[in-house]
Chain A
Amino acid sequence: MNKILLKIDGREVEAGEGMTILEAARKVGIVIPTLCHHEKLEPYGACRICTVEAEIRGSTKLVAACLYPVEQDLIVRTRSERVDKIRRMILELLLAHAPEARQLQDLAKEYGADKDRFEKEPSFCILCGLCVRYCAEVKKKNAVGFVNRGAGREISFIPEIASKECWKCKECFPLCPTEALQAAYVFTEALVSLTSFQA
């Protein structure tokens, strides 16, 4: 595999072809926050909290570190005023949906995000897709999926499948950065026990 040399926060980093900025950074212990990334899952790029500045041939752009492949002579800045401002805004928006989420609160502290900046609209789910993708890609059960669109988009367990598969798995529960997933599951369980979906 070809070696690629790049610079992350001023450090020379050696990476393999096809690696993402995130992987290259993690290899040398540089931390980039992520919410929707998971090693076992295909890249997704939903949350944008991993945004970094990437400079190539003199021009700088903002990219998602979990998606962007490394390039020879790439210069990456994982913290800058611009990057921090974007992360702060993302956190403030997400906190309007899931104000109690620990992971978001911790990041908010680090980036000085104000959790009360936007009017609360607790849907609890931040649509990171970890549960949906884990169930589809790793467990291949598709017991939980997205429904509706735009502002009404949400996750939904498929009762017919969930009633057969989920009780013995629940591996997606610890992945959820908020409490949305468990709440949705409890709701589905109640629904299943009330209806004929029961297996």
Chain B
Amino acid sequence: MDSDRIDQIINKHQGQARSLIQVLLEIQSENRWLPREVLEKVSEKLEVPLSRVLRIVTFYKTFSFTPKGHYEIDVCTGTACHLRGAQRVLDTVQDLTGIKPGETDLDSKLSLETVNCLGCCGLGPVMEIGGKTHSKMSPAEIADALKKCE
């Protein structure tokens, strides 16, 4: 993502401390990570101390200090999904991608995370691939879905 686009997002909210999380979310979703210089710029332009920006960025799991892959894979390991076999889903994804939760693969295509609830426990075990929700996936279906991530 070019710095013009980042500037655009930040300038839209110039001087508005209350938009901090909104700005960070926008940058995170477009840029897939939050470089230090960007955080400094956010702090300066929104007039929020850098220490508070860092406190918030380190608080929410959504934000990341390292580049995430193009497709984010979120495997739900919340209580309901856990009981319905989330571990099997997670194992399959790990075997297929070779990455563990919190990691991104070498060509920055995929990132894997575990999450605690995706809000549809009845469909569990649930996972999200690039924003699309999948329910009760067999290993073959998981492999198919991952192949589509190009």
Where the two chains meet, the residues of A that have a C-beta atom closer than 8 Å to any C-beta of B are: 132, 136, 142-149, 156, 158, 160-161
Contacts and interface: CB of A to CB of B under 8 A. Distances in A.
Nearest to A141: B49
B58 A147 contact: yes
18 contacts: A136-B49, A136-B51, A142-B50, A143-B51, A145-B50, A145-B51, A147-B54, A147-B55, A147-B58, A148-B58, A148-B59, A149-B59, A156-B54, A158-B54, A160-B40, A160-B50, A161-B50, A161-B51
- Interface residues of B, dominant DSSP: helix
Contact of B55 (A145, A160, A161): A145
Contact of A144 (B40, B51, B58, B59): B51
B40 A142 contact: no
Nearest first, the 8 A-B pairs at minimum CB distance are: A145-B51, A142-B49, A147-B58, A142-B51, A148-B58, A149-B59, A146-B55, A145-B55
B52 interface: yes
A148 B58 CA distance: 5
A63 B21 CA distance: 33
A50 B91 CA distance: 49
Nearest to B59: A149
Contacts of B54: 145, 147, 156, 158
A144 B54 CA distance: 10
Contacts of A142: 49-52
A161 B52 CA distance: 13
A103 to B, nearest CB: 25
Contacts of A146: 55
A112 to B, nearest CB: 36
